[in-house]
Structure 1
Amino acid sequence: MYIDMFEKIVDVMHHDYSGFLDKKGWDQPELFRKKIETLDPATPESRAAFTAIVKDYLLDFRDRHVSFTVADRNGSPAEWAGLRVRRYRGFLYITESEDTRFQAGDKIISVDGKRIPEAADIYARKLYQEKEARQDWNPVLLLAGVIEVEHSSGERTVYEIHRKKKPVYTPEYSSKEIEPGIHLIKLTDFADPDAVYQLFKKHAEAYESAKALIFDVRVNYGGSDSSYYPFFPFIFGTEEIDPSEMSPEMLFNCTERTAQNQLAELNEALNAVEEEETRKILSFFVEQWQEKRDSGFQRFPFEQVMKVDKISGYERPEHIFVLSDIYCRSSGDSFVETVKWSEKVTVIGRSTMGINDYSNVASLNLGEGFVLGYPTSKLVYQNPDHYQTGRGIEPDVYIEWSPEHLGRDVDLEAVMDRLKSVTGQYEGSGEMR
């Protein structure tokens, strides 16, 4: 059973994955095939072992849009370690914890007896060979046995990792006036176009007279780009922007298998979404996959569905700020990249995750609860320096993350300070995140 699933995964990654030509020869399936052949499906532990082997194999492609999930978690690896961390210099700082043994601000000195710099070398594949400030250690903690923690009191203790089920994610789409005429809009994903549109509709009149809008997408799990289109008239000024001059070419790998997967998902989405603009784009994708199925790499004529040749908006608000970070990905990446075209926008914080070189993920159900997610499109930039992998979309104003961020919103304070210097009217809000 497992070996058949693995062969199908390899076949998808060698033919249907949109990066298969660019990354030919990167993977070594024979090494992982040998490990899978030793598994006995009759044993309870084989399910978890198979999951771990496949995830390890997929790391060869260095693509965070590639995923392997298990719907039935019985016997599968725990999804998180009960705490989240972030690296700063030579340590990991706990940013939040469901485990009562730890508090935000506690410092992890070592993982399984290895100091963080040494552990980073050991887990380089799992960390996607990212630079220190961009490393995501949360998946690594699932593989760890013990961690040495220094508490705020200075006491150091070695703890075993207690694996837990991941908390249920609840998206946040919020908008509040934090100072007169200054609105903070927080969007943790773009996955629900109807909800985002309703938020916009509720506050659009206030935005018309606003002095500044601040978009917080430091944590944004992506979704549909069309979700953020309603905000464009306020984000862009009166100067017209030609998207065709800014955007790279996007090509879709239109294999028959992917067409079948995509059409099923798109039709399901059409049945669930009411927002008109999103439905129009979903219908366009349905038409394109039907027309171009089994034809290799193809360009989709987005100009047919996005009739506006150039983007422009209103004079007000005069100032638009976007807070970004490495936990902003997919459609979040796209949002930050697109709004940077506006002369009104200043992006503050850290680079986004940068995973859109290969995007538009399709899901392949392999049976037994196993699902492979793989990108179907790729971007083709004229300038190789514009590719996002490993660098993300860079902010206009870089602020290094530090433990200070755990006690106060350093990024938001920087925005308010800039507004004060421009207008001479506003005091920093100092709001907690």
Structure 2
Amino acid sequence: MEKPKTRGFSVRRYEDALYVTKVDSDDRLVPGMRLISAGGMSILELREKHHRLLSENHPEREDWAPILLQYEEGIVEDLEGHQQHITFQLFEKKPFVPEYSLRRLEQGPVLLTMTDFANPDAIAKLVEEHKDLLETADRWIIDVRVNNGGSDASYFPLIPYLMPEEGVELGNSAETMLFNCTEASCDRVVKEYNNELAPVEDEHFRQVLHSIIREWTRNRGQGFVEFDLGGVVEDTFVKGLKNPSKIIVLTDNMCGSAGDSFVEQVKESSKVTVIGRATLGLNDYANLAVQNWDGYTLMYPTSRLSRIDKGEGMTGVGITPHVHIPWTPEHITGDPDMERALAMLEGEAADGSDRNRESSTEVSELLR
């Protein structure tokens, strides 16, 4: 199977230019350079031409990677403001290297970074190895700005730390997820889950997967059904631990799938303030089934959320943060999100007023 191709760099639009945010392979570029045209068209002209592909509600959510693959050349402006013509190159997409890390910052808070929820054993091990620190640290920062998803069950070991002592109801009786259990989808999904289950040691994750496999098998050929995960997901009212008492979660639109679910759930906790940009918003239609042919892979969703029928879906919107921090080129050379998180934990926003800004002009502007 041919490996996916990229231009060797990533961009993000700010006003009328695409800023290089990351360089994977094309060493002619450095982060901070601006792409001001491609194929003889300005970025705003390209935005108009490809508006259907760039069907997002804010420039910071636009994905320009497939657009740049359609053009062979452009004009780049370097950090000194000099412009030059550049012929784009093609590179094989480099494999994603996940990160599950935990460390105490010089300022005091504990920083957890999780770039996906695909490895339950790694996350459970991280929590167990740092249990003493996690139970005594009063302030946390959790960075899921890049999170490629995985399984909701993978972050289960973190939930008691994230919820308040008095507890919070994480279930929603008005919300259902329906799975389209066709025979073909069942066969594909069960095979994939069995492969995923084989190397996993975490007992809770294994129980969840066994229950899901049981429901797929029991409902094979029945069309849209709601799964009964009794025995694994029983009580949705969750009581938490005393520490930490303050948690900042950093999010961005590169956080999706199980990352969406994580952010949506932790927003229910009085301990947590979510800051940054809205998540990708993939869960309206989710739980992908995969069919492979020679040189071709089809991935399609097998579940849908009932919120779609009420016009409350997350597609194109994501899970919005309590505090929206607009993306600017300053994010390339610095970390305004982390600076804001540290300031909030130090008490500059300790009165909690920032938590009520979801209807502020910042977020309202994001949702237009």
TM-score by length of 2: 0.91
SS at match of 1:222: coil
CA distance in 1, matches of 2:152, 2:182: 23
Selected match of 1:357 from 284, 309, 322: 284
Selected match of 2:98 from 151, 157, 171: 171
CA distance in 1, matches of 2:173, 2:204: 22
Which residue does 1:321 correspond to in 2?
248
Which residue does 1:114 correspond to in 2?
41
Q: Which amino acid aligns with 2:268?
A: W
Q: Which amino acid aligns with 2:22?
A: E
- Cα gap change, 1:296/1:333 in structure 2, threshold over 3 Å: closer, same or farther? same
Which residue does 1:131 correspond to in 2?
58
Aligned-pair CA distance for 1:121 = 1.7
Which residue does 2:176 correspond to in 1?
249
CA distance in 2, matches of 1:247, 1:214: 31
Aligned-pair CA distance for 1:165 = 0.6
Aligned-pair CA distance for 1:180 = 5.8
CA distance in 1, matches of 2:349, 2:74: 48
Which residue does 2:7 correspond to in 1?
81
- Cα gap change, 1:204/1:180 in structure 2, threshold over 3 Å: closer, same or farther? farther
- 1:181–1:209 Cα contact (<8 Å) kept: no
Aligned-pair CA distance for 1:422 = 5.4
Which residue does 1:233 correspond to in 2?
160
Aligned-pair CA distance for 1:101 = 1.3
SS at match of 1:302: coil
The answer to whether residue 321 in structure 2 is matched with residue 398 in structure 1 is: no
SS at match of 2:91: coil
CA distance in 2, matches of 1:249, 1:303: 15
Aligned 1:30-109 pairs, distance under 5 A: 71-73=1-3, 79-97=5-23, 98-109=25-36
Aligned 1:408-419 pairs, distance under 5 A: 408-419=334-345
Q: Which amino acid aligns with 1:151?
A: D
Aligned-pair CA distance for 1:79 = 1.6
Which residue does 1:11 correspond to in 2?
none
SS at match of 1:386: coil
| 1:286-335 per-position Cα deviation (integer Å, ceiling 9, x unaligned) | 11011001011000023431133411101211101100000001010110
- 1:181–1:211 Cα contact (<8 Å) kept: no
The answer to whether residue 209 in structure 2 is matched with residue 291 in structure 1 is: no
Selected match of 1:188 from 109, 115, 124: 115
- Cα gap change, 1:124/1:192 in structure 2, threshold over 3 Å: closer, same or farther? same
- Cα gap change, 1:383/1:375 in structure 2, threshold over 3 Å: closer, same or farther? closer
Which residue does 1:262 correspond to in 2?
189
- Cα gap change, 1:170/1:162 in structure 2, threshold over 3 Å: closer, same or farther? same
CA distance in 2, matches of 1:100, 1:237: 47
SS at match of 1:333: helix
- 2:284–2:308 Cα contact (<8 Å) kept: no
CA distance in 2, matches of 1:390, 1:298: 26
SS at match of 2:6: coil
Q: Which amino acid aligns with 1:315?
A: K
CA distance in 1, matches of 2:20, 2:308: 41
Query: Which has the higher mean CA deviation after the structures are superposed, 374-383 or 222-231?
Result: 374-383
Q: Which amino acid aligns with 1:402?
A: T
- 1:324–1:347 Cα contact (<8 Å) kept: yes
- 2:212–2:229 Cα contact (<8 Å) kept: no
- 1:251–1:297 Cα contact (<8 Å) kept: yes
Q: Which has the larger radius of gyration?
A: 1
CA distance in 2, matches of 1:165, 1:145: 16
Aligned-pair CA distance for 1:124 = 2.1
* RMSD after superposition: 1.7
Selected match of 2:145 from 189, 199, 218: 218
- Over the matched positions of the two proteins, sequence identity in percent amounts to 39
CA distance in 1, matches of 2:54, 2:47: 8
| 1:351-372 per-position Cα deviation (integer Å, ceiling 9, x unaligned) | 000010000111012x213110
Aligned-pair CA distance for 1:100 = 1.8
Aligned-pair CA distance for 1:152 = 1.0
Structure 2's unaligned 5+ residue stretches are 351-368
Structure 1's unaligned 5+ residue stretches are 1-70, 425-433
Aligned-pair CA distance for 1:385 = 5.0
Aligned residues: 349
Query: Which has the higher mean CA deviation after the structures are superposed, 243-252 or 182-191?
Result: 243-252
SS at match of 1:354: coil
Which residue does 2:359 correspond to in 1?
none
- 1:95–1:105 Cα contact (<8 Å) kept: yes
Q: Which amino acid aligns with 1:154?
A: G
- Cα gap change, 1:386/1:312 in structure 2, threshold over 3 Å: closer, same or farther? farther
Which residue does 1:275 correspond to in 2?
202
- Cα gap change, 1:382/1:303 in structure 2, threshold over 3 Å: closer, same or farther? farther
